[in-house]
C-alpha cells in the first residue's frame, strides 16, 4: 500500500474513555475551541489555558477560604481568621476577625449587608458603615455551611437536619426560629448544600434534591417545593456546588451510589462527566472526593466549571461552551504536576480575580500571560505544561509504518526577551510515542515551533517506526502563546 498522508484534528471529546486500549485522549492545560466555518482547516483546535498573574501578593501563608464580590463591586476574602476587603489597587483592609481558622466560607449579600458562614457561626458586615458583627448565637442556626439570598431573605441550612431557615426581610442579623421549611420529598435526609438559581432554592441531600420557590404565602408556608422538582440525585461533595449563568453544577451520586458530575436542564439533572473523567477522579482520589471544591468563571467566550479534588493533585475543568473536559495543573520546580493553584473566583473591575490554595495571594487570569506566578518567589514563575494525546492510530490491528508526523501550531511565537535561561526564545514541541495505546512512552523528541516571526517553520518528525496501536503525545512547556491546530501524518500499512 502506498503512502497515506492526512490532516487530523486532535478530536473533540478528551477523556471520553477510561481505558487506554480504547483511547483516553488526555488533555492538560489546553481547552478546546470549535471552528465556526465549514471551510476551516480543522473542526476543532486547542488553546493554552490562561496564566495566573499576581494581583495582590501574599501577606500570610493562610489559604483563601472564600472570595466574594458584592453587587456594588466590593471584593472580600477570608483567609485564616481574617476577613478583609481588597481594594482595586490590591491594597488589603481588615474588616474583622472570626473565630475559626480553617474550612470553607460561604458568602451572600443584598443591597445593605454582606453575610457569611464558616461552618460554625454567622457574620454580618453593614455595607454602608462597615460595622462587622457576629450574628447572635442564640437565634442564628450555628454550624450552617451554606448561605444564599433570594428576594429579601438570607437562607441557610440547619446542620445535621433536613431544615433550612431564612432571615427577616433585608436583615441578616435577625432570625426568627419559626421561619423554617423542611426537605421532605423522596428522602427526608440531612441537607448537604443549598444554592440559588433563577430565584429558586436548590436543596441538596446526599441521595436526592428538591427545588423550592418563594410563594409569598405567609398564612401557610412561604417556601414551597416546586411540583415535579424532586429527583433521586444527591450531592457527594457539599462544596462542589457552583453555578454559571443558567445552570448549576455539582459532584453527585445516583440512586445506586455511582458518582457522576451533573448539571441541569431546567429542573432535571443531566450527567456531564465522561467515563474517562470519572475514572480519573476515582483513581487519583482513591474514592475520597467528598472534600471537592467547585467554582466557575468565564473568559474569552467560554464558561468553565472548576472542580478541585482536594485529597489529590487533580483539578478537572468542564467547558460549558464546548462541553469538553480538560485537566489543569501547576508544575513544581522539581518536575511534578500538582493541582492548579487557583481557588474561588470573582469578576470585578473587568478582571477575573482568584484566590490561592496555599496563601492569601490573589491572581488574575490573563490569556496573554504564559506562566503561573509563584507567591513564594515572584521572580521565578512556573511554566504551564500543555499536553494533548492523539486518538489511537490503527488499522484493523495491522502494522502501520509511520513515515512522518507533523504537529500544526500557530508558528513563530517565540519571545523577544533576554532572560538568562532563554526560555521562550526558540520554543519547542516535545513529542513522545507509545506503541501500546498510551501505557508507556518513548524518550523525548524536540522540534522548534518558531522563533519570533518565523511563521513558516515546520514541526515535523520523520522515521517513527511501526506500530499496531500508536498514540502520540504533544507537549509544550515554553512560556509562549500556544494554539494547537492538529497533525498531519504519513503512514502506510504493512502486510501483518
Q: Residue 202 and residue 43: Cα distance in Å, rounded?
A: 37
**DSSP-assigned letter for residue 284:** H
Q: What pLDDT is stored for residue 305 in this prediction?
A: 98
Q: Which stretches does DSSP call E strand in 220-283?
A: 223-225, 234-235, 242-244, 247-253, 259-265, 268-271
Distinct helix (H) and strand (E) counts, the chain: 1, 44
Say what the pLDDT of residue 335 is. 78
Beta bridge partners of 304: 297, 319
Unique residue bearing C-alpha cell 458568602: 107
Give residue-wise pLDDT tens across range 345-364. Answer: 999 999 999 999 999 999 99
Residue 333 has what pLDDT?
79
- Count of CB atoms situated within 10 Å of the CB of 70: 20
Q: Is residue 262 a contact partner of residue 247, using CB atoms and an 8 Å limit?
A: no
pLDDT tens, 18-74? 898 998 899 999 999 998 888 888 999 999 999 999 999 999 999 999 999 999 999
Report which DSSP code applies to 111.
S
Task: Extract the runs of DSSP E, i.e. beta strands, from 70-176.
Answer: 75-79, 82-86, 92-97, 106-109, 113-117, 122-126, 132-134, 147-150, 153-157, 163-166
Query: Strand 293-299 and strand 234-235: pairing?
Result: unpaired
Q: pTM for the full model? A: 0.95
Asked if pLDDT for residue 298 goes beyond 60, the answer is: yes
CA distance 212 to 343: 29
* CA–CA distance, 466 with 492 (Å, rounded to integer): 9
Reference 356, options 108, 75, 48, 55; nearest CA is 55
Q: 386 with 476: CB under 8 angstroms?
A: yes
Per residue, the 3-state secondary structure of 391-447, as one string, reads CCECCCCCCEEEEEEEEEECCCCCCCCCCCCCCCCCCEEEEEEECCCCCCCCCCEEE
Is 7's pLDDT higher than 80? yes
Give pLDDT, residue 358: 96
Q: What would the grid cell of residue 442 be?
A: 518513548
Phi, psi of 122 (to 5 degrees): -115, 150
CA–CA gap between residue 472 and residue 468 (Å, rounded) = 13
Task: Say which range, 30-44, 217-231, 260-274, has the weakest mean pLDDT.
Answer: 217-231
Instruction: pLDDT band for 421, please (50, 70, 90 cuts).
Output: low
* pLDDT above 70: residue 388: yes
Q: Give the range among 184-193, 306-315, 390-399 with minimum mean pLDDT.
A: 184-193
pLDDT of residue 2: 46
User: Quick one: pLDDT at residue 420?
Assistant: 46
Q: What is the pLDDT of residues 454-486, one digit of tens each?
A: 999 999 999 999 999 999 999 999 999 999 999
Instruction: Determine what percent of the chain is predicted with pLDDT higher than 90.
Output: 84
- The pLDDT confidence band at residue 184, using thresholds 50, 70 and 90, is confident
Task: Please report the pLDDT score of residue 147 as a whole number.
Answer: 98
Q: Which residue has the higher pLDDT, 493 or 349?
A: 349
Nearest to 173 by CA among 215, 130, 116: 116
The upper half-sphere exposure of residue 349, i.e. CA atoms within 13 Å in the direction of its Cβ, equals: 11
C-alpha cell at 62: 493562610
Is residue 418 over pLDDT 70? no
Amino acid at each position: 500500500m502506498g503512502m497515506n498522508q492526512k490532516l487530523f484534528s486532535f478530536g473533540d471529546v478528551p477523556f471520553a474513555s477510561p481505558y487506554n486500549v480504547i483511547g483516553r485522549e488526555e488533555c492538560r492545560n489546553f481547552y478546546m475551541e470549535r471552528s465556526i466555518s465549514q471551510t476551516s482547516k480543522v473542526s476543532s483546535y486547542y488553546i493554552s489555558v490562561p496564566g495566573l498573574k499576581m494581583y495582590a501578593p501574599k501577606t500570610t501563608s493562610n489559604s483563601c477560604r472564600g472570595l466574594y464580590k458584592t453587587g456594588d463591586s466590593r471584593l472580600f476574602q477570608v483567609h485564616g481568621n481574617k476577613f478583609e476587603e481588597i481594594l482595586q489597587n490590591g491594597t488589603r483592609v481588615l474588616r474583622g476577625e472570626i473565630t475559626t481558622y480553617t474550612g470553607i466560607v460561604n458568602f451572600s449579600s443584598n443591597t445593605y449587608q454582606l453575610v457569611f458562614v464558616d461552618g460554625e457561626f454567622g457574620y454580618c458586615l453593614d455595607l454602608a458603615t462597615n460595622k462587622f458583627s457576629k450574628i447572635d448565637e442564640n437565634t442564628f442556626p450555628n454550624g450552617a455551611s451554606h448561605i444564599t439570598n433570594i428576594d429579601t431573605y438570607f437562607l441557610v441550612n440547619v446542620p445535621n437536619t433536613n431544615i433550612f431557615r431564612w432571615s427577616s426581610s433585608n436583615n441578616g442579623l435577625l432570625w426568627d426560629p419559626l421561619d423554617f421549611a423542611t426537605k421532605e420529598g423522596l428522602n427526608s435526609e440531612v441537607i448537604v448544600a443549598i444554592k440559588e438559581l433563577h430565584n429558586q432554592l436548590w436543596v441538596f441531600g446526599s441521595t436526592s434534591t428538591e427545588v423550592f420557590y418563594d410563594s409569598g404565602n405567609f398564612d401557610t408556608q412561604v417556601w414551597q417545593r416546586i411540583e415535579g422538582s424532586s429527583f433521586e440525585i444527591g450531592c457527594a461533595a457539599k462544596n462542589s456546588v457552583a453555578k454559571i449563568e443558567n445552570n448549576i453544577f455539582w459532584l453527585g451520586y445516583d440512586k445506586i451510589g455511582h458518582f457522576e458530575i451533573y448539571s441541569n436542564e431546567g429542573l432535571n439533572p443531566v450527567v456531564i462527566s465522561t467515563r474517562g473523567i470519572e475514572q480519573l477522579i476515582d483513581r487519583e482520589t482513591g474514592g475520597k472526593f467528598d472534600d471537592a471544591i467547585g467554582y466557575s468563571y468565564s473568559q474569552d467566550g467560554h464558561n468553565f466549571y472548576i472542580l478541585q479534588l482536594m485529597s489529590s493533585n487533580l483539578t478537572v475543568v468542564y467547558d460549558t461552551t464546548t462541553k469538553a473536559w480538560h485537566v489543569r495543573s501547576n508544575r513544581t520546580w522539581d518536575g511534578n504536576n500538582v493541582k492548579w493553584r487557583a481557588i474561588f473566583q470573582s469578576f470585578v473591575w473587568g478582571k477575573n480575580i482568584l484566590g490561592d490554595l496555599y496563601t492569601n495571594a490573589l491572581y488574575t487570569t490573563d490569556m496573554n500571560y504564559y506562566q503561573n506566578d509563584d507567591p513564594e518567589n515572584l521572580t521565578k514563575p512556573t511554566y504551564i505544561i500543555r499536553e494533548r494525546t492523539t486518538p489511537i492510530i490503527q488499522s484493523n490491528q495491522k502494522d502501520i509504518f509511520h513515515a512522518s508526523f507533523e504537529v500544526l501550531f500557530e508558528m513563530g511565537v517565540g519571545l523577544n526577551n533576554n532572560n538568562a535561561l532563554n526560555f521562550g526564545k526558540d520554543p519547542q514541541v516535545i513529542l513522545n510515542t507509545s506503541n501500546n495505546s498510551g501505557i508507556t512512552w518513548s524518550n523525548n523528541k524536540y522540534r522548534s515551533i518558531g522563533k519570533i516571526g518565523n511563521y513558516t517553520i515546520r514541526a515535523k518528525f520523520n522515521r517513527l517506526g511501526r506500530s499496531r496501536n500508536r498514540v502520540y503525545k504533544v507537549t509544550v512547556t515554553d512560556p509562549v502563546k500556544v494554539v494547537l491546530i492538529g497533525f498531519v501524518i504519513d503512514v502506510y500499512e504493512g502486510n501483518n
